[in-house]
Structure 1
Amino acid sequence: MSIEALDYSPRPAKRRALAMTALTFGLTIAALPCFALDVPVNVQVPTLAYDEHQIILVWEKPANHRDIRDYNVYLNGKFLGSANANNNRVSPAKPYINRFYDEDTEGFHHRIAIHSFTATGLKADTEYRFTVRAVDAYGNESADSKAVVQRTNRLPQVFNVIRYGAKGDGKTVNTRAIQAAIDACTPGCKVLIPAGTFKTGALYLKSNMTLEIGRGATLLGSERGEDYPAKGYIQYPYSTTIRPASLINALPRDPHAEEHFENIRIVGKGIINGNGWKRLEDDTDELGRALPVYVASNNTRYMQDGILAKDQVQRAVASGMNVKDAYGQMRSSLITLRNVRNVFYGDFTVLNPAYHGIMNLETENVVMANTTHKTYDANNGDGIEFANSRGAMVFNNFFETGDDCVNFAAGTGAEAVKQKPQENVWVFNNYFRHGHGMIVAGSHTGAWIQNILAEDNVSDGTDVGLRMKSTNFMGGGVRNVVFRDSAIRNSVKQGFIFTLDYNDPNAILDYVRSDIAGKFQDIKVSDVTVENPAQAALAVKGDSAHDAFHERFDFSRVSFKGTAPATIDGLRNSSFKNVTFEGTTKNPWSISNSANLSFTHVIPQPPQQ
């Protein structure tokens, strides 16, 4: 059954029609099942998720959501639309989610819930009142949620970069012209990249502005390393390596200075292209659409594979840096923001970064919605990364990346304890196609990564579903993570992996090692299906030699399908309830160096320890 089959979109009129149908066939109204549905909770407008014509809503599922099939949104008391139908129109992830369930002919996979809504076509500077109702399979609605009231923005002053001399011919380097438009932008303004291909070097945003990549527009990174200041930023306060500026930055011009920003929006229907690597022939995806594939390079092949990546590494080597460090340090990411309070990324498409995708360092309140990431298989081409940041929502996005899709970091080694943790994140309603992992915590775990909720996501073809990685000298760890109500298929490696045995060949160890190993604890996984992982359904790797044990894992109602094993080494005080393995004739469990593990209604049961 497809998601579309569950897209009931019932209106009050439909409920009356159902009742009339029942009467026509001689039934009573009571023959239509009717349950008291719980009300959606915490309906809200995410940070900066509105402009002069659009408002985005999100909400939490009630605790008892088993019978809910959709959500109806009401505007000023009148029916506006259903979450599922709306998501079909606005989310680049939804067509892939629909196809995923179309192919699930045996009904193995957990069905996700859509709990966001984008209201469009609104008037500027106007107040709107929204409520949300849960809906069951028969069209019955819950009571209204608490109302949320939001006013759209006034029409902003628009600074079109063409007025400042920019040319969208794909050849002219427009850095000065585009930066002039940004510098001229007044608080609350919008800098517009119109239709065309606008090549540029590093750009620096400021507070209280919107950068819009318009429909038909491409912001194309220059292929020349000289167009990106080599002294861009330091990842952590104790780092010795200085990375070059990214294509788009909210950073001080002096990498040793501290500057704070607020209220930055990067939006639009256009493309941000980092111009990092050569492009292979396009791949045709499951929807018949062309997806770009970039050369999967490394520090021995960058000269033949790279564009911007080649020029930046070549320049660094010419200045005296060794190749390994130059490759791991001197390539530009696509977007880097530091010390920014309130950020919204919306709608645009990301292509071909020379290094990472979108970096959020020490930020607060970041939202990413309805974006498309096509960076596969660009080396280190992550989707979105957060480091030592607080508060984030990532929803309705499509990820096809050359590295981790959604990644969290919190510092390295002994000095990381002086930093704030990475915390308070909600990731939902995304589709993950290629990538090293859907949700990835680590390997930089020094100041702790904590309080993450990932739910109602779908993956088909990533290396790993939930991935946690650290080392025995990184310190900190990951804690208080909930991963639930999701479906995973065709993992290239593992369904879940929690490992202290991580090594990055390009990592620069410019920090004092901690004498404490990373640790994963208080991890809850529930209502998840995993089909055909290639290497392992579940892999837990502690480090008993350094007394590093993970603990308090809780797996509930998790179903695996396929022949991959479940290997546990270095886990304590954990429980597995209603965990099943289908499609294997061998006992999948291999358990060592672990203690106080309980298995309830697990099929098959692990061998006695």
Structure 2
Amino acid sequence: MKRYLAVILVSCFVLSVSAAPPNKYNLMIAPGTLSETSVTLLWDKQYGGDSLMYHIIVNGKTHGFTGKTNYTLDKLKPATTYKVSFQLITGKNSQTKKQTVLKFKTAAQGKVYNILDFGAKSDSTFINTSFIQKAIDACTAGGTVYIPKGTFLSGALFLKSNMTLHVAEGAVLQGSVDTLDYLPLIKNRFEGWEMYTYASLINAGTLNRDGSYNVRNLRITGGGTIKGGGKKLELACKAARGIRSRGRLILLMNSQDVSIDNLTITEPPCWTIHYLYSDNISCHNLTIITKGIHNGDGIDPDSSTDSYIFNCTFDTGDDCIAIKSGKNPEGYYVGKPTTNVRITNCNFIRGHGISIGSEMSGGVSGVLVQDCKAGALLHGMQIKGTKDRGGYVKNVTVDNCQLMKITIFSAVNYNNDGEAAPVLPTFENFVFKNIDLSQANVKEPVININGFTDPKHKLRNVVFTNLTLPENGKVVINDAEKVKFEKVKTVNGQKPEYVVKSSTGIVY
């Protein structure tokens, strides 16, 4: 995980954060979560027993215990310094290992801007766009724009740095279904190409390729619901300007240190949460529902660095998570990779997959999927691309998950327009370990991995360790090099069926 400097920008202010020297836990503050009264901690998973617990101590007193690799401290006081001690407790004789210490100071109490005070009304026909935007524009650094209980209909809203948008429990920020409420058109990226589209319901930042960030220290939270225009808006956008004109539900561009948390997010016209050319993004404690929406992805990290997605539930009409970095020559020459994506403690109920690609031409590396549970996703945990993409996917680890399928595709039959990148792509260095696949459907391969046919670009260096497949489970391997299976058994202790073609160095 990314180690923070002694001073970092988070949640509306410059706040002092100091920690002990780097340690194996990599204890850190989740980007965007340090507020007046709470903070969320993240750390790397530790091993060494079946009953590991993490003991969280605040100012010398026990705050709680967790088996996860994240923990939220709440009911803190504003503008107050806290010292957190973090201890690992193993199952062997209840040993307590050496503690790690993190110090931080909460934000000062900011001003609250209730949208009702700016003319907003909870009414199914009243468009609140201008009134909510007035509250956002008036919000001073460290302040909160507050959406109270009720349903508030709105078009596109544009957030800024150093603020919180708080959608309270019982509140619904409802997107309108009129395309005119999402003008002017803005430049973003869809399916690999930079282009102009309708604005999203919630927008932050403006697109550029120079590596700068124009929105920082933003939080979208509150316990309520953000609900888009859904199918009606989707169809209206398609009719007016075509399928690629649709906005998102939440769009971040060139943004840094952002937390989207503790919300139900549903009914997008297209992708739900999309962040592009951004850094230090936390998406956590979210319920994302997009059933019946064309291209209804849940979360799309796109040419972005340091993403932390945890404690989320997905029920989607397309990919639950799709990690991207542009397509074909444009994505290759823009050359902005997606790196360091941590997906932990998530529940994937329905959707197409936990996906990397298919737009991965700028490169994707450093992906961890850990302690997750996936239902009957169409493609399961999948890595996908085509020979035209260029770029790479490398250094991916999937650990301690319950899955129904693992797939690697080197050819997909969609989103394949445009000329090819100047080089062939590379898939390499994947680790799948401690995975329960016992509930998979055996009518098709449980593990289906396919590299590129070019001898120089075959899938390579893949390790499967400690996997359980259903009885009669099948493993298919095409166009791969150096693929190793260790302790891979069916539920009855037998080896699965292996089907190998055009591959070398396969060990099972």
TM-score by length of 1: 0.75
Residue 131 of structure 2 aligns to a residue in which SS?
Answer: helix
Aligned to 1:43: 27
CA contact (8 A) 1:532 1:562 kept: no
- Whole-Å separation in 1 of the counterparts to 2:322 and 2:61: 40
Whether the aligned pair in 2 keeps the contact of 1:185 and 1:191 (CA below 8 Å) is: yes
Q: Which of 311, 314, 319 is the equivalent residue of 2:239?
A: 314
* 1:524 matched residue in structure 2: 431
Q: 33, 36, 43: which is aligned to 1:52?
A: 36
Specify the alignment match of 1:540 in structure 2: 449
Q: In structure 2, what is the equivalent of residue 389 of structure 1?
A: 304
> Contact (CA 8 Å) 2:188, 2:207: kept in 1 or not?
no
Match of 2:328? 413
- Partners of 2:496 and 2:342 lie apart in 1 by 35
State the distance in 2 between where 1:508 and 1:352 align. 27
Letter in 1 for 2:274: M
Secondary structure (helix, strand or coil) at the match of 1:176 reads helix
Distance 1:143 1:508, change over 3 A: closer
Report the Cα offset of residue 135 of structure 1: 2.4
**Cross-structure match for 2:498:** 589
8 Å contact 2:187–2:194 — kept in the other structure?
A: no
Does structure 1 conserve the Cα–Cα contact (< 8 Å) formed by 2:473 and 2:490?
no
SS of residue matched to 1:464? coil
User: How many angstroms does 1:230 deviate by?
Assistant: 5.5
CA apart distance, 1:369: 1.4
Percent identical residues: 27
Match of 1:380 among 274, 295, 303: 295
Structure 2 counterpart SS, 1:122: coil
Structure 1 equivalent of residue 341 of structure 2 = 425
Partner of residue 389, structure 2 = 474
- Summarize the Cα distance change of 1:557–1:255 in structure 2 as closer, same or farther, 3 Å threshold: closer
Instruction: Find out whether 1:79 has 2:33 as its counterpart.
Output: no
Q: How does 1:272-287 map to 2 (within 5 A)?
A: 272-277=226-231
Could you tell me whether the CA contact under 8 Å between 2:393 and 2:427 is conserved in 1? yes
Asked if the contact 1:133/1:141 (under 8 Å) is kept, the reply is no
Contact 1:470 1:477 in 2 (8 A): no
C-alpha separation between the residues in 2 aligned to 1:435 and 1:227?
A: 29
**Which residue type is aligned with residue 362 of structure 2?**
A
Quote how far apart the aligned CAs of 1:145 are. Answer: 2.1
In 1, distance between residues paired with 2:170 and 2:413? 41
- Which structure has the bigger radius of gyration? 1
Uncovered stretches (5+) of structure 2, i.e. residues with no partner: 1-22
How far apart in 1 are the matches of 2:205 and 2:138?
18
Indicate if the aligned counterparts of 1:231 and 1:245 stay in contact, CA closer than 8 A: yes
Conservation of the 8 A alpha-carbon contact between 2:381 and 2:407: yes
Say which of 113, 123, 126 aligns to 1:172: 126
> Normalising to structure 2: TM-score of the pair?
0.90
1:121–1:570 distance in 2 versus 1, CA, 3 Å: same
Q: CA deviation at 1:234?
A: 3.1
Q: Structure 1 CA distance, aligned partners of 2:406 and 2:295? A: 21
Q: Is residue 2:378 matched to residue 1:451?
A: no
Q: Compare the two structures and name the one with the higher helix fraction.
A: 1
Instruction: Report if the CA contact (8 A) 1:41-1:145 is conserved.
Output: no
Q: 1:437 aligns with which of 345, 353, 357?
A: 353
Q: Please tell me the root mean square deviation across aligned C-alpha atoms, in Å.
A: 2.5
Distance 2:413 2:191 in 1: 23
Q: 1:70 maps to what in 2? A: 53
Aligned to 1:334: 249
1:561 has 2:476 as partner:
no
Q: In 1, distance between residues paired with 2:119 and 2:302?
A: 36
Q: How many residues align?
A: 483
SS of corresponding position for 2:446: strand
1:595 CA displacement: 0.8
Q: Deviations over 1:138-182 (max 9, x none)?
A: 771413421111222211111111111111112211111111111
Question: Which residue of 496, 500, 503 corresponds with 2:410?
Answer: 500
CA distance in 1, matches of 2:493, 2:411: 28
Q: Quick one: distance in 2 between partners of 1:46 and 1:584?
A: 41
Q: Which runs of 5+ in 1 are unaligned?
A: 1-38, 85-113, 278-306, 317-325, 600-609
Q: Residue 40 of structure 1 contacts residue 132 of structure 1 at CA under 8 Å; is this kept in 2?
A: no
Contact 2:435 2:468 in 1 (8 A): yes
Tell me which moved more, 354-363 or 66-75. 66-75
Give the C-alpha shift of residue 232 in structure 1: 1.7
Matches within 5 A, 1:111-510: 114-137=68-91, 140-229=94-183, 231-235=185-189, 239=193, 241-252=195-206, 260-277=214-231, 307-316=232-241, 326-327=242-243, 329-418=244-333, 419-438=335-354, 440-488=355-403, 491=404, 495-504=405-414, 507=415, 509=417
1:548 to partner: Cα distance = 3.5
Could you say if the C-alpha distance between residues 170 and 501 of structure 1 is closer, same or farther in structure 2, counting changes exceeding 3 Å? Answer: same
Distance 1:331 1:416, change over 3 A: closer
How many angstroms does 1:414 deviate by?
2.1
Which structure: greater strand fraction? Answer: 2
* Partner AA of 1:45 in structure 2: I
Structure 2 CA distance for aligned equivalents of residues 399 and 445 of structure 1: 22
